[in-house]
Amino acid sequence: MTDEEDYSVTNKRQRASVWISLVLTWAVLVGLVAVALCLPLILPWYLRFTQRSMELVLLLWALLYATLVPAAVAGVSLLKLLQNVRGRTGRPVCDPYVGRDDPGAPLAQAGQSQPGVFQPSSARYLRVLSWCCFAECFVFLALTPYFAFSPIIAFAAAFIGLMLRVVKSVIEEGTRIKSENDFTV
């Protein structure tokens, strides 16, 4: 396999991966809307099924709707981050022609920002995602007395939030290095 064929296969895989991620993110956002609409029907049924007091319904509604807010914000931030990964033109970032409408046009000049992962906006989206995970952690900790699985979800959300903070720091450092390299070329 030649380098050009290998690049083409990698490019197709990356494009497919980003497309699948975008579709799944949209599906999750649609699912959040469905949950928000169905929650008034599901929660009373759940309380009757588990033989819990119906007096809890307002508290649980508030807490469960509180989980939907950071999830929706995280979904939107994830869509924006995926758009950065995809690049403005819809081509993946590993493509050297990303950001150029005319393939014959020169690459971006030194100091000009090209679309891609290493931009300040990507770090900002990752920061928002991590704070949303921490918010979910606290809400699910508040739900612990009512749902047995809440501590597990809270721990997972906190761990994912921590990993996103580390990735955010890596992206910020990569952005800084890319910016320095853009000016030295």
Nearest to 120 by CA among 157, 159, 171: 171
Nearest to 142 by CA among 134, 133, 154: 154
Largest Cα–Cα separation, the chain: 69
How many residues does the structure list for the chain? 185
Cβ within 8 Å of residue 155, ≥6 positions away: 137
Pair of tokens at residue 36: 């928000």
Task: For residue range 100-150, list pLDDT tens digits in order.
Answer: 444 444 444 444 445 678 889 999 999 999 999 999 999 999 999 888 899
Dump strand ranges (E) for the chain: none
* Euclidean distance between CA atoms 80 and 160, whole angstroms: 19
* Euclidean distance between CA atoms 131 and 157, whole angstroms: 10
Structure confidence at residue 9 (pLDDT): 67
CB half-sphere exposure, 88, CA atoms < 13 A? 9
Eight-class DSSP state of 54:
G
For the question of whether the overall pTM of this predicted structure is more than 0.85, the answer is no
> Residue 32 — left, alpha, or beta (φ > 0 → left; ψ -120 to 50 → alpha)?
alpha
- HEC letters along 85-104: HHCCCCCCCCCCCCCCCCCC
**Which residues of the chain fall below pLDDT 50?**
89-113
